Amino acid sequence: MKIGNFDLTGTQTLIIAELSANHGHSLDIAKQTIKAAKKAGADAIKLQTYTADTLTLNCDKEDFVVKGGTLWDNKTLYELYKEAYTPWEWHKELFEVGKEEGLLCFSTPFDKSAVDFLETLNPPAYKVASFEVTDYELVRYIASKHKPIIISTGIATLGEIEDVVAICKKEGNDNIILLQCTSSYPAPLEGANLLTIPDLAKRFGVIAGFSDHTLGITAPITAVALGAKVIEKHFILDKSIGGADASFSLDEEAFTAMVHAVRETEKLLGQPTYHTDEKSIKGRQFSRSLYVAKEIAKGEVLSEENIRSIRPGYGLHPRYFKDALGKRATKALNFGERLCWDNFEK
């Protein structure tokens, strides 16, 4: 599967920098952030496409007030989303900046009107936010555009994940990427449950990845080691900008460190192999092999006293030690000489 020109079946992980609300309502900061994400090593930049009115009601009743120990407690949902949204009139210019920087640029739509708007920008993929997984009609509508669909599993139950995968497939869209995600901001390490990543891939036969809300860079590195082919992490130009997502976002320095560590992890993983590479073959000189440990006359019997398994590894393989014992030497053998097949009777 490809997103744009990025092949998700290759050896590299797709690293997505999430812009989210990290622009402080400044178009210039948003553009600078995209450029910084490229410098930091991101492969893609992701926006969020909504307005407060497409997400919720302008209502201050108890149901609409954030609570539960979050970063946003006591704000109404409308206030939060009005503060955090990215103006739609910025999108075209931000997509253009992303493309100029060589980044894949796409977004998370939060309703059908956002999908229709994004279609005019021809994104290479769509993202479904974890809290929208239960909006089956929205998932169906996004899937119907037949572009790769990245779904954060976040709050979803196993049954709901099964449902949305089936919905996508019913729409003829098999280009599904499921991201393990903990919908807590910031997310505690003990809640990451990264072993879900290989399980998602195996259980649903899809590409799996990780949408990270933990602090630091340990979780995405571990996720890649467990098979994540997509990493999404919130990115901010400078935490002094503030905003709804600033506290669990990475700045350029930290994001760069994460990318570097992920790329090193990819090299470490390599491919399953039992073939020794050139360096390993060269290193076999330090392995053991059979050598003459005491002068041996022609016709003398080979014994544990006159042949030994020692370093270096240029002689006969130690597995043949017992085959050689009791055999007679076909010629005189000198101390320190490699034992070879033609040194003794078969």
Least confident of 237-241, 277-281, 340-344: 277-281
Residue 227: per-residue pLDDT: 97
CA 16, CA 293: separation in Å to the nearest integer?
61
Q: pLDDT digit string (tens) for 232-256?
A: 999 999 988 887 778 889 999 999 9
Domains along the sequence of the chain with CATH: 10-50+85-269 (3.20.20.70), 278-343 (3.90.1210.10)
Q: Which of 124, 116, 172, 175 is closest to 151 using CA atoms?
A: 175
Instruction: Give percent of the chain with pLDDT exceeding 70.
Output: 97
Tell me the mean pLDDT in the region 162-179: 98
Q: Give the predicted TM-score (pTM) of the model.
A: 0.86
CA 295, CA 277: separation in Å to the nearest integer?
36
Which tokens sit at 237? Answer: 């130009």
Q: How far is CA 98 from CA 35, 65, 91, 173, 297, in A?
A: 8, 35, 10, 26, 79
Q: Which of 185, 183, 190 is closest to 151 using CA atoms?
A: 183
Residue 275: per-residue pLDDT: 67
Which tokens sit at 185? Answer: 């901001």
Which tokens sit at 24? Answer: 């402080």
Residue 105: per-residue pLDDT: 98
Residue 274 has pLDDT above 90, yes or no: no
CA 83, CA 25: separation in Å to the nearest integer?
8
Residue 158 has pLDDT above 80, yes or no: yes
Q: pLDDT digit string (tens) for 287-330?
A: 999 999 999 999 999 999 999 999 999 999 999 999 999 999 99
Q: pLDDT digit string (tens) for 106-120?
A: 999 999 999 999 999
Residue 185: per-residue pLDDT: 73
Q: How far is CA 215 from CA 135, 225, 248, in A?
A: 28, 18, 6
Residue 277 has pLDDT above 70, yes or no: no
Tell me the mean pLDDT in the region 132-137: 96
Residue 276: per-residue pLDDT: 64
Least confident of 18-22, 157-161, 223-227, 340-344: 18-22
The residue count of the chain comes to 346
Confidence at 279, pLDDT banded by 50, 70, 90 = low
Q: pLDDT digit string (tens) for 11-52?
A: 999 999 999 889 989 999 999 999 999 999 999 999 999 999
- Per the prediction, the chain carries an average pLDDT of 94
Higher pLDDT, 99 or 244: 99
Least confident of 1-10, 118-127, 239-248: 239-248
CA 2, CA 10: separation in Å to the nearest integer?
10
Burial class (CB in 10 A: 0-12, 13-18, 19+), 73: exposed
Are 123 and 147 within 8 A, CB to CB? yes
Tell me the mean pLDDT in the region 158-181: 97
Confidence at 149, pLDDT banded by 50, 70, 90 = very high
Q: pLDDT digit string (tens) for 57-95?
A: 999 999 999 887 767 788 899 999 998 899 999 999 999
